[in-house]
Chain A
Amino acid sequence: MADKKSVGHAYNVDFLNVVFAASSLFLLLSVVWMVWDDYDRDWKNTQRRFADLEYQVTQASREQAARAVDKNKMAQLQGQRTAAEKNVTANQQKVDDLQKKMRDVDIRIFRQQQDANFAKATYDHDRYDFESVRAAGGSGVEQKGQKIADEEKALRELNLGLERVIAEKADLTKQLGQYTGEVTRIGKDIDELNTELTRLDKRLTVLAPSLVKDYFRNAPLLDFLAPTIKVKQIILPDVVDDVNFTKVPKLDRCGTCHLAIDKKGYEKYPQPFKTHPNLSTYLGSDSVHPMDKIGCTVCHEGMGQSVSFEGAAHAPGTETQQKEWEAKYHWEQPHLWDYPMLPTKMTEASCAKCHKREVYVPKADALDVAYATYERAGCYACHKTRGFENVRKPGPILTKIQSKLTPDWVKTWIRNPRAVKPATWMPRIWYNSNSSAPEDAKRNEVEIDAVVAYLFANSDTYQPDVKNPPHGDAKSGEKIVKSIGCQGCHIVGEGKRDEVGPRRTFGQPLENIGSKTTYEWVYNWVRNPKHYNPETYMPNLRLTDAQAADVATYLMSLKQGGGDAAKATPDQATVDAVLLDYYQAVMPFEESKTELAKLDVKARQLALGQKVIARYGCFSCHDIKGFDKTQPIGTELSEEGTKSVSRLDFAFVKEIPHTSKLKWFGAKLHDPRLFDRGRVLRPLDRLRMPNFELSDVENSRLVTAIMSFQREIQPAAAMPVKSARTDNISQGRTLVHRRNCVGCHIIEGDGGDFLKLVADPSLGPPMLTPEGARVQPDWLYAFLRGPITIRPWLEVRMPTFGLDDPNLNGVINYFGAVSNAVGSFQTHQVMTASNVADGGKPLFEAMQCQKCHVLGALPKDTPITQLAPDLRMAADRLQPDWILAWLKGPAAILPGTRMPAFWPDYPKSPYPQFGGNADAQIKAIRDYVLTFRGGPTPKGGGAKTAN
């Protein structure tokens, strides 16, 4: 410090110079760094890589286009052009002269045009001036009026002059055309031949790497002018983002990196340069979901505005992909955006945003199976869900339990249903992860006992139609069960629940049924299900008494034991303690004790049973007496997909990220009591959702269903257009899925599980997509009321569903709407032998229609897979117009049908009749077929006897 004074400075100035120089250098460097940091973005590199790729791909397609040009035609055209050019050269003098004149005319046109434009502008200005002055009553109106009159006159003359010069030019063009017209025409033809090539050449010029583009237009600090690398965004006024305080039009910038998403030709490249699958349905400009209307994030979710991998909230589809992303992008569970992307396997959950309350959305296979699983598991019964409000209770009625089951069986059953029937949807209510401790066993057993006691004490009696029915033959019973169609809805021990899928578990699995109930009950049930439960969806298969006996005998032979034994012995003290616990939850302690003391031993058990049923919500799925009006116990799930992740309680469960809704739902479904782990809870405070023991596939399906339950924020403009037809379709889809028609039939490309079980598709239930166009509505109505046998050689049969009129009409309207067929009533000309043109019969015979088609008796020597319906039904059953379409091209209506295409080259005909006119031939055969009478009909008798 002492030398400070001597130099006259507080600091060493030389040193300060060094510090100043160094810090200035750092400032410069940090500014450069700042600019670079701002400039250097991943998406820019992505676009650079794509520019290379696009250049290569375009080059390849250019080469392909060059090869595709017709060389011969090109040579020919070029030859013609050379010849034509010679003709021009021969008259070069005249051509030159005309072209010179043409140039003069062009110059005059340009001048005239300009003069006229200026005059017009002046006139417009002065006219307004005149009008406004006149309206305001100002001075000088007359002069102004005069002025614009003059101007208008001058303008008219100028325009006239212009027209004259243009006419002059036309004349010149015509004259010139005499010499050069041929060359121009051939030139055009050549251009046409080269259209694709020229287009690609132009594109290549744009795409070609260039110094200006790479080092000037895209340079840091200069790239605000006209960069080629830029954010590509679409603004979508019809779909919105909900940012809590307002809704804003979606703004998707996904195309910044996914550059080929709507371009054909990039299908084989990896993301982000892959073409979107199925462009005719998604993104294509002529698809129903065009990119500039629907965008990306309304389906995929994620943050559309972000152009960084992390910020867009990408979601990995698999664990492997997650690992890969973590390494490559430092990916972590997105938590800064409330709607992270859905894994691709769940994207279809978003379909429900616009296709609201539809059980079946075409082409959305993942969503459809998710909804079917949701219904089969009966989730909606406890969890109120929009779109599933009026669905029947998923479990069987328990109001007549006494006549069907024994208390011991029910106890074993509810203790662990899947130990008895591995494929059942009945979940396990006791002995779950929060109630399996040894000290819980006694309470569990007491509750189980009490529930069973309550159910049997509140059971009606039931008088079977046939008492002590005779036994039949198990072998033939098995044959019936496995062929008549039971397996469309029931499985008989084959396959796991998730493998056979929701449609084949529509009805109870038949495994182990022999140890469940009595022979008498099964016999009466298969003979007429509606006798036991008039509301049941189980249809009547119209079995004879002998067949019913065979079936019942076979079913009763399906015994395999199984089931968990009681893990503790219930005693009265525990019953009292548990009942007291339930009482204390709703009333003061002393009052509870008094209440308990009032009851005798039996009443205590029943009171406990009632409390336990109320707690676990058994009544949500089953009809139980005394619970007709009780509200379901679960959380409403109508908007669960949009629930904020912070509303989910992860408690002490650490193995899943606390930022992921999907993981929470997955964990909850995997073990519904998981989030009680590590917590100190009194029994009544514990979680009570039962365990469905879902497989990973089922779990993922249900998560998809849950994610589809969204808050409805998208505006009406985004919704599909509604009409009576679309209403009929959506109601019909619901109907045929809720009644499981699709268990046996393929309708609109979905279902038909039973077909997999028959040897040949022609021996299974028919495909019903074209049914509305095919059959007459009144026939269909009668058929559904009382089905008749259409193909007697089939073992599978259409059951009697006993639908009511609204449902019957629903089905008919649905099929009509799918085929876009006219309504129920149509004029049909009645064909008889007398009013039909001759010629049909010889054709009919020439084509050997009768070889396959039945006319009364089954044709001999024809394998049954080749047989086709009795044509005597045609007049009564089929739509005449449909027969025409069917004959023209059967494969277009029913792909894979055995019906041959007799006019493979329609409208050409291989047959000489009717002057070789295919239409006339087809009509003649149709008319001939319609003259047949006497086939079986559901109308009349069938309808009357229908149940």
Chain B
Amino acid sequence: MAAGFLTRTARRAGQRLLSSLPALAGVLVFTFLLMRVLPGDPAVFFASGPNAGQAEIEAVRKTMGLDRPIPEQLVRYLADIGTGHLGRSMTTGQPVLSDLRQRLPASLELTFCALLIALALSIPLGILAALRQGSLLDHGVRLACSLGVCVPTFVSGLLLIYVFYYLLGIAPDPTGRIDVFSASPPNITGFLLVDLALTGDGEGWRAAAGQLILPAITMALFVLAPLARITRASMLAVLGSDFVRTARSLGLSGRRVVLVYALRNAILPVLTIAGIVFSTMLGANVLVEKVFSWPGVASYALDALLSSDYAPVQGFVLLMATIFVVVNLTVDVLYGIADPRVSVA
């Protein structure tokens, strides 16, 4: 039976992956067109200066492959991506792939911590609000949710810095992942918290966590509202259903009914919107990384973007779309595990 379950899950994952391939191919073409067809000539930008001669501009254009026809550029672009060449960043001088690989853990660590905080807060709040529908707590949660989606992440991040860094002085200087004066951290997985825990550096771990906590809370606050709202709504629907009434009438403890029977069913819609929430967070990453000078992929792409450096932006957008597809796939597989009734189709 376990084997059957595994095959089913694997088949489901495979089919979902296949069906997301056309969208991914569309993404590739779209990023390419976005960056190449539209105005703005990078060759002029990367020539020595505004007074660069025509010959020099032509030379730069040639080394960048910009003198070929658009379809040929597209084919070469696709071939490059197939072999893992995402181009070279003109600003850092490094291959984009290695730049992205080096910075991705910082972004992922931030996003996962934020998601964890958001889930840890929103699910209990949503359940409590549903259990005491119409109570003060319920109204409080709804009010907080309505307000939470209205505050832009960059404003809430800056205000958190003001309160916890300037007023209270308990948060570290909001610049990056590590204190500028500390020794360079170990590099095993790239996830600072994991690396420092592996090397048993308690003090370093606390320092890194201190740097991480404000940006993570900023991002969590932004997605708290949709998660809490959907938990409350689906919990309310489940609590009113027949099987919960039956479980109650059989004399099962309230805790067991809510946490085992009701929650397992109520969590499905939460899983469904977790994908959308993750997409919002990938976008919010850009703003949060900018506010906290976080050395992640988004701030890297933003710097490149403001200096019309194509390759890193293309690589970043592609990476974000790929992560998003993978996340949706994961959500889908999880959904199948949580609810075996969902068919593979």
Q: Do A and B come from one complex?
A: no
Question: Which residues of A pack against B, CB within 8 Å?
Answer: none
